[in-house]
Chain A
Amino acid sequence: MSYVELSYWIPLLPALGFAVLILFGRSLPGRLAGWLATGVMAVSAVLALGLLRDVALAAPHWDLAAIFSGQSESALLAPGSPDFPFRLEWNWLAIKGQAGIPLVIYVDALAAIVTAMVALASLFIHMFSIGYMWGEERYHTFFAFLQLFSAAMLAFVLAGNFFHSLLAWEVMGLMSYLLIGFLYKKKTAQQAQKKAFITTKLADLGFMIGLFWLYLLIGNFDLADLASEHTLALIPAGTAAVIGLLVFVASVGKSAQFPLHVWLLDAMEGPTPVSAMIHAATMVSAGVYLTARFYPLLIHGHALMVVAWVGAITALFAAVIAPAFADVKKILAWSTVSQLGYMFLGLGVFGWAAAMFHLVAHAFFKALLFLGSGSMIHGAKTQDIFEMNRLKKYMPWTYLTFLVGSLALMGIPPFAGFWSKDLVLHAAEEHAPILWLMGLTAAFFTAFYTTRLIVIAFHKPAMPSPWKAAAWTKGAPWLNLGPADAPPDPEPPQGHHPHESGFEMVTALVSLAILSIVVGLWGSPWADYGLLKLLYWGDAPEILPVGKLLSGYVIGTLVALSGIGLAWYWYAAGDPLKQRAPLWLTRALQRRLYIDEFYYKVVAALGQSPTYVLAFFDRWVIDGLVDLSGWLALVASSFLRYLQSGRFAVYAFYMLLGVLALYLGGIR
């Protein structure tokens, strides 16, 4: 029994876990619900790793030297096994011989790698939550939601049929809504969950329209079929561009890219493991994954440049805004937006494999960072980095693992982000130097805000947060920065000494730290680009000998070091409380460059105007019709009761009437 044949259990197990927890979770004592969910994810992760092993054995083997010289024909050392990529198929909705929509599990190298990534990251997020969520209301419900979320993401990745991808995608949307609003008593959480759901839902329309349009053209939803020359020939290039971009809109929404990034920051209202889940390992990655799956269509339609520009703008814009925030989770949220921008940039400049490498590497180190921030919040009882009191001293494990994640994020060799980000930037440099410059600038800011975060939270003693005192942080009532009616953030307890987190949480942190290092090395030239070779499909300009990448490596490292240096000079050597930027700039950054306000004021107002007409229509026409039909039904019903008299003779008479009616109807 190979792992491929078991692959459907990977999403099925957490789905069953969800069912068990939601039905019986209440009666599980203590932390059993958490351990149960973690155990389920562990089995899923083992199966996913087995699947990855099967794929690695079955995939074709390539000669690195031939790839370097660009001779992809001679690069093939050994062809893959004949049944690779693996495909499991079941009939679904197949009625009376018609094909229906087959339920397909499609496992190629990308699906196997991302499945393993999701399962592993999700496993450690579950493990971390055992301790982190302990004591919360609805403890078991939280794990039930996490389980279904993981199941949906795994199903999304393994689905070989875009129709089922769409179903899983929507389940993820729903679960993100439920998880972001998990602390449903907080008004800000309620607003955040609505914002996330509405924004992503709006974008999802693009997916649906694009998908059904595609179906009209090619007559199926098959994922593998989309990549074939034969199918692409059916689609005119212009149409392909429109469909590809429609689907890309959905990715932009799900992956929080400019200009639909607005929901992600507010989504930090969810508990921290949720942030790790949604904003590192699963949901935001789903957007990138979807675009990667539609890559052939986007190439066919010559639409990749749009993807690249959206990615580059987002990467830069988010990295610039991040230093203006004091909430550790919000800084990481901006960092996520920015890093996802890199992935789209990579996809847009033909660096498909590099972008996927960055996706996997980022999932691990960002999950690590989010969980690390959760540990910090858990220990310090505040989210404001200024109020955190020399955490390095009190939380050595958290510090160490957070440092590993940060180095990966900043792109310091030999950590994961260094290898993957540099490949993306190199691909950009070859295709569009301006995008490369934007990426490099973003890398500078990334190093800057990360160092700032570490220095202030871990090294400096607690200090009164300047961001709480500032007038603009309260925002306007319609801006969800912390509305006037929301309760003020609690002050950190006086004389509180931070403490290291419990066993499960630390284990999860250390495991993720190790994983992020391992994954980075697997895709590095030191391991002969193992991960990239697995993803290779005959054409990957970004796989290059070290010699050609060396200048990029040096430049990237220097940029990162200069970012670190500046932040060190300002915050570690100097006094963090001294304002360094002019007030108007800080305020503009804090208000997220007024994009959210623009949406609230202009877009919402425009969108609302037709609703008055519709409301009138609904009130007087639709409601009226419903009331009328109900009234008619009752009148008819009360009249008809008299026919049912209960007398035998009357009933027999009805029968004779029936005979007569039929006879007259038939005789003509």
Chain B
Amino acid sequence: MTLAVIILLALGGLALALAAPNFDERPTVLGGISGTIFGVTLLLGFAAMHESGVLYGAVQQGPLTGLAIVLLSLVGLLAAAGAAIRENGFAAGSGEVHALMMWGILGGVLLVGSAHLLMFFLGLELSAYSTYVLVGYDRDRRFGTEAAAKYLMLGAVGSALLLFGMALLYAETGSIAYAGIAAGLSAHPSALAVGGLALMLVGIGFKLAWVPFHAWAPDAYQGALPLMAGYLSVAPKTAVALGLAVMLTQAFGDAAGMVRGWITALAAVSVVLGSFWAMGQGDIKRLLAYSTIVHMGFLGMGLASGTLTGYVAVAYYLAAYIVTSLGMFFSLEALEAHGIASNLEAWKGLGRRNPMVGVLIAVFVLSLAGAPLLAGFLAKLYVFAALAQAGSWAALIVAVIMVIFGYFFYFRILTALFLEEPGEKPAVEVSATAISLMFILAAAVFVLGVWPSPLMQWLKTAVASLMI
């Protein structure tokens, strides 16, 4: 099934890219095809969870790969649907968007399933290249082009460092397969191996936007169309977080403890600095970029705990973040498509200008902030539980304090939505597609927040394979 998914995504992306020029006038057709393919791979993902073995010595089949296929296909499905929010398609053509997203998802699946560094790097680059293009997709936006250029160059630096780290590890252990590396690393690795691991973590941290490798994120989010920013905030993050979990348990062997210490430090710095940066923002996409940095920090804390509870918490966090973040960015997309810029000034009184949209956005914002009864709350709660269980009290205290600070900047959005006077601003209209999508995602946020048991059960069975 894993093989079928890989082939389907690769050929599907190719077909979409080839067909794209013929469908510029009817962009929804391609979205429909793309959505269908993702629907199929989503189902195949469930089947793939029951497989085992390694494909051609490179891609592991198993519950975790299945989980990655399911989550990433869900992202792809939602993003394909989200492309329909802009009814007239994108200025630069619509087909390529779907092709690029599909290849990006393929890269994500490969990097989670990889059994050695080469495949990991291949997956990471495949997933990254599509985002470079997507960020600058709207060529007419000056910001977008600038952001894409910066992102590409920084990404190149990140990839170079990652490759260099891999080379050092190979020099130390003589292997690029996970199992071989793990066998060659001790609890106190040599200076060479420490260098290799540190460089690799920088490359990975770059994708997860951990401070201080985060600097591309605010520009990229601000410059990209909201849909692309939304895709950027979930698809590569989901893949890389799961891939890192695999590496921590399978590739780093006895040195994993040291790497987890680094991750904790990076995560804590991300949570603290990200929150402070977010407070000063007036542009909502920049604010959400810092919000992503903070969220990835919380996620990193879960990863660093190194226990089953921690990995389950990470998986739940990813699921919760997918629905919340996509919902938020879809809202932005819907508003931008109708000429309402994504900044607090333009959002004044939005809750009164269109109560339905206001309430739905409030659900997403509250979930991001971690308000009870919503998915974001439980996500943080599970991570905190994992931290407490692992005895990481320092990280836990930092995290809890920063949750409170987080409310500062999330509530600035809510204040703008509901408390400030709309003044002379006109009423807000959004398309029915957008409202339906937002409603579905808000419902998902709520359901995950009040009835997490089935999902947790399922995630636990999928993630348990990590701990063997």
Q: Chain A: residues with CB nearer than 8 A to chain B?
A: 91-96, 100, 629-630, 633-634, 636-638, 640-641, 644, 646, 648, 650-652, 654-655, 657-659, 662-663, 665-668
Contact = CB atoms under 8 A, between A and B. Distances in A.
Contacts of B205: 658
B279 A652 contact: no
Given A94-B453, A665-B261, 13 more contacts: A95-B456, A644-B218, A652-B157, A655-B157, A655-B158, A655-B161, A657-B212, A658-B266, A662-B201, A662-B262, A666-B194, A666-B258, A667-B191
A347 B202 CA distance: 72
Q: What 9 pairs between A and B have smallest CB-CB spacing? A: A651-B215, A662-B198, A654-B212, A637-B280, A666-B194, A637-B279, A636-B276, A663-B198, A658-B212
Given A91-B453, A662-B198, A654 B213 contact: yes
Contact of A638 (B275, B280, B457): B280
Contacts of A657: 212
A659 B312 CA distance: 29
A589 B261 CA distance: 74
15 contacts: A95-B456, A96-B457, A100-B453, A633-B408, A634-B279, A641-B277, A644-B215, A648-B150, A654-B212, A655-B212, A658-B212, A658-B266, A665-B261, A666-B194, A667-B194
A666 B262 contact: yes
B452 interface: yes
A481 B158 CA distance: 76
Contacts of B201: 662
Contacts of A644: 215, 218, 277
B10 interface: no
A633 B456 contact: no
Nearest to A641: B280
B195 to A, nearest CB: 6
A644 B153 CA distance: 17
Contacts of B312: 96
B244 to A, nearest CB: 14
Interface in B428-468: 452-453, 456-457, 460
Contacts of B198: 659, 662-663, 666
B96 interface: no
B276 A637 contact: yes
A253 to B, nearest CB: 27
B206 A655 contact: yes
Given A655-B154, A655-B157, A95 B453 contact: yes
B273 interface: yes
Contacts of A93: 453
Contacts of B261: 665
Contacts of B216: 651
B197 interface: yes
- What interface size band does chain B fall in? 35 or more
B265 interface: yes
A589 B154 CA distance: 84
A92 B454 CA distance: 10
Contacts of B277: 637, 640-641, 644
Contacts of B266: 658, 662
A667 B255 CA distance: 12
B262 A665 contact: yes
A463 B273 CA distance: 78
A633 B276 contact: yes
A490 to B, nearest CB: 37
Interface string B266-303: 10000001011101100000000000000000000000
B279 A633 contact: yes
A650 B154 CA distance: 10
B280 A659 contact: no
A337 B273 CA distance: 60
A668 B273 CA distance: 26
Nearest to B277: A640
A92 B280 CA distance: 40
**Overall SS of chain B's interface:** helix
B148 to A, nearest CB: 12
A137 B266 CA distance: 58
A654 B273 contact: no
A164 to B, nearest CB: 14
Contacts of B265: 665
Contacts of A665: 261-262, 265
Interface centre among A93, A638, A654, A662 (most CB of B within 10 A): A662
B63 to A, nearest CB: 16
Given A633-B279, A648-B154, A655 B456 contact: no
A618 to B, nearest CB: 18
A566 B213 CA distance: 92
B215 A654 contact: yes
A100 B453 CA distance: 10
B90 interface: no
B129 interface: no
B359 to A, nearest CB: 11
A184 B10 CA distance: 64
B456 A646 contact: no
B273 to A, nearest CB: 6
A95 B452 contact: yes
Contacts of A654: 212-213, 215
Interface string B159-193: 00100000000000000000000000000110100
Most chain B CB atoms below 10 A, which of A94, A644, A663, A666: A666
B460 A96 contact: yes
A92 B456 CA distance: 12
Contacts of A658: 202, 205, 212-213, 266
Nearest to B199: A659
B367 to A, nearest CB: 19
Nearest to B460: A96
A629 B258 CA distance: 33
A640 B273 contact: yes
A650 B262 CA distance: 22
A666 B408 CA distance: 35
Contacts of B405: 629, 633
A651 B150 contact: yes
Contacts of B280: 634, 637-638, 640-641
B218 A663 contact: no
B372 to A, nearest CB: 13
Nearest to B218: A644
B219 interface: yes
A437 to B, nearest CB: 53
* Highest count of chain A CB atoms <10 Å: which of B157, B280, B312: B280
A628 to B, nearest CB: 13
B419 to A, nearest CB: 17
Given A630-B408, A652-B157, A659-B199, A646 B219 contact: yes
A633 to B, nearest CB: 6
Nearest to A652: B157
Nearest to B201: A662
A654 B161 CA distance: 13
A1 to B, nearest CB: 24
A655 B206 CA distance: 8
Nearest to B381: A95
A633 B195 CA distance: 35
Contact of A666 (B197, B212, B279): B197
Nearest to A660: B198
Interface in B196-248: 197-199, 201-202, 205-206, 212-213, 215-216, 218-219
A461 B212 CA distance: 88
A96 B219 CA distance: 40
Most B C-beta atoms less than 10 A away, residue of A636, A646, A659, A668? A659
A641 B153 CA distance: 22
B73 to A, nearest CB: 25
Nearest to A630: B408
Interface centre among B158, B189, B258, B453 (most CB of A within 10 A): B453
Interface string B345-382: 00000000000000000000000000000000000000
A641 B188 CA distance: 38
A667 B157 CA distance: 23
A668 B408 CA distance: 38
Task: Select the residue from A91, A92, A636 with max chain B CB neighbours within 10 A.
Answer: A636
